[in-house]
Amino acid sequence: MLRLHLAVYFYLCTVVAFENWPLLSENQDDASRAQRDMSENIPIDQLGLSGLSLNQLVFEPYGYNFAALNELLMILSGKVGALMLDMYWNEFTQTWQLCPAPFPNNLTGNLTNTVDVSWNGKTYQCEPGLSPADVMATITQYFRTSNVKVTANMVLLLLNLKSIYYEPVATATNRTYNSTSTRLDSIPSGYESPDPSYLLVGNSTLAQSVSGLGSWLFMPLELQVFSESSPSGNYTNYYSSEYPTQYDFLFNLFKRTMVSVVNNDLRLSNKGYNISSLDKDTIFVPTEDDFEPTFVNSSDIGILTNCSRLRHSAFDPSLFSVIVGQSRFRTVVDSLSTPFTNDSLQMWTECGFNTVLNASYKSYESQIGDRTNNTADQLGAIFNNFVPLQYWSWAPNQPNIAKENTTSATNDDDSDTEDNQFESTTNAQFAFKCIAMTSQGWTMSNCYDKYRLACQRMDNPFDWTILSSLSTYFDSSDNKCPENYAFGLPQLSIEQGALWTFLDSRNILAPVWIDLNDITVTGCYVTGGPYAECPYTKIVTTLNLIRQIAPSVVVAFVIILLVFWEKFFLRTPVHSNRKHYWKRAINQYYKENEYEGVPS
């Protein structure tokens, strides 16, 4: 009955939350799907994902309660790819919980009330009935509603493991004349006898806590099976990894998430939690099975300095392959002392890191303005400000869908003339459906404008060259690239960084054409030249339409002719003589059997 009440409450809150929460614009939705599709052959340990801390940006301002889960659902709908979550091992109850504070006995009777609880000098608003399993259920709900090829995405769940404990205090007991015995109180007074219903909340193991993710969860055991089935690793497009590609992960293995521990601050004690072998078979733990993610803080500016130096150095493709070969799951998290700015977040993204927002609303005021009076507006403002910057591929405010209907050059306000040899179209032809790479990222451009073509080496995605001649996007189908090169597209931020480095080292000004367009279907970005078809929509040209409907039209016309001919011209003898035949037969019968008077 309690769960039913919570489900109804959760549904009603979700409806209200949708009314006040900014969803992805059509531009951002297309940008997210395009980046996912273009990276489908990249192993999942190399993807550039964007995310945030649920504790700092959801539970702290909204409270650790079921109502806050609606904000999580909205965040997931915005295609956030990484979630960081603090989970607390309560040594008093021996269960995992979300609230950073334990609940006193007198607050555990009603599981659905949000109450103020204090611990270690801080006060939190928490609901006793909320557990990590409810977060997993919310994530699973999102997976179910987005389980189609157009919207499916990967969500990386990052765990910070912490302990709720009480320092033992020596208490004198059984005092006698000669000696004093002592006992150690590991549970403070007022916390030792919670309500029995509260003891049913939460799970006693990490594996159980995330089990609600069900079949969507990719586990270390499954990675082992995948690696054994592909002994040479997942070798595709120069990447060698034991991890599946994004396409295999989503559409062959039908997975949506993996859970990893990024910080283990659990206390070692007789009531502490020890990560078990079952946990390690379910959750990725550093140093186990060669799982070694790269996890850094935004204050480490040395990494950004090296990245910037690489971009402006002499072009050497091997330097970029080293980054991919020596690091995986590269993740940077900001903090209250070093919050992301628009510029720093974009730089981390371009350097190939998953970015996780982990500072407070106050820390981001310089980027979003003062919104202290409206918590919902704060989260929406942070989302709208930072999410467009977390695409490693697209330039800000791109793709500009409104520009696709442009028919006059006077509306072209982009800096397309960075290249002094750029040639604008002179025949008044406009089709803003082709993508060029500028110094800021991918930008929607007029297919008839003439730029240089970016050619990518077929056996090394970090090796680029640029054609000296200018051509329209449609001319790319002629395959003018040198031998072993083809009209290319960066599929990863590191590949794009290599292209930028090549342009800088050769003093070539952007924009340059890359192999991406939405010519066939608006908003469906495809690679493979100007005549590539959208995989989500069947393209029907006029000729194909005629070919499809012609047989049906001919058959229908023949049937109509037959019906018309039968109706007006065909006279079947049986039908035409039936009336007269029966009339003669009846008259003949009466004639032969006619009587006068009354029969005796």
Give the pLDDT score at 235: 43
Rounded CA separation 307/312 (Å): 9
| Residue among 298, 382, 397 nearest 347 (CA) | 298
Q: Which of 272-295 are b and which e, b meaning 16 or more Cβ less than 10 Å from the residue's Cβ?
A: ebebeeebbebbbbeebeebebbb
Q: CA–CA separation, 576 vs 589, rounded Å? A: 22
CA distance 339 to 305: 17
Residues 332-350: b if buried by 16+ CB within 10 A, e if exposed: bbbbeebbbbeebbbbbbb
- Closest C-alpha among 40, 42, 45 to residue 294: 45
| Distance in angstroms (rounded) separating the CA atoms of residues 486 and 479 | 7
Residue type, 79: K
Please tell me the predicted confidence (pLDDT) of residue 252.
93
User: Which contiguous run of DSSP H or E holds residue 297?
Assistant: strand 295-297
Listing DSSP states for 139-197 in one string gives HHHHHHHT-STTT---EEEEEEEEEE----EEEEES--SS--EEEEESS-TTSSS--TT
Distance, in Å, from the CA atom of 202 to the CA atom of 60, rounded to the nearest integer, reads: 20
Please provide the DSSP assignment of 478-542 as one string: G--SPTTEEE----SHHHHHHHHHHHHHTTPPSPEEEEEE-SSSTT--B-SSTTPPPSSS----H
**C-alpha distances in Å from residue 437, one per residue of 32, 87, 442:** 17, 42, 4
- The DSSP line for 349-396 is HHTT-EEEE-S-TGGGHHHH---TT-HHHHHHHHHHHHGGGG-SSBPT
- Residue ranges with strand state E in 201-247: 234-236, 239-241
Q: In whole angstroms, what is the distance from residue 546 CA to residue 540 CA? A: 10
Residue pLDDT tens, the chain, 600 long:
444 444 444 444 444 344 444 455 567 788 889 999 999 999 999 998 999 999 999 999 999 999 999 999 999 998 899 999 999 999 989 999 999 999 888 877 888 889 999 998 899 999 999 999 999 999 999 999 999 998 999 999 999 999 998 876 555 554 443 433 334 456 777 777 777 887 788 889 999 999 999 999 999 999 988 887 765 544 445 676 789 999 999 999 999 999 999 999 999 888 899 999 999 999 999 976 678 889 999 998 888 888 888 888 899 998 998 888 888 899 999 999 999 998 899 899 989 999 999 998 888 887 777 655 666 678 888 888 887 788 899 998 888 765 554 443 333 334 444 554 555 544 456 678 999 999 889 999 999 999 999 999 998 999 999 998 999 999 887 778 999 999 999 999 999 999 999 999 999 988 999 999 999 888 899 999 888 888 887 644 455 556 567 677 778 878 888 877 777 666 655 555 555 666 777 777 777 666 555 554
pLDDT reported for residue 197? 81
Contact 351, 332 (CB under 8 A): no
pLDDT at position 224: 86
Rounded Cα distance between 536 and 34, Å, is: 12
Whats the size of the chain, residue-wise?
600
d(CA 477, CA 530): 7
Question: Which residue shows structure tokens 């499916």?
Answer: 152
Q: What is the DSSP letter of 460?
A: -
Q: How many CB atoms lie within 10 A of CB 181?
A: 10
Diameter of the chain measured on Cα atoms: 149
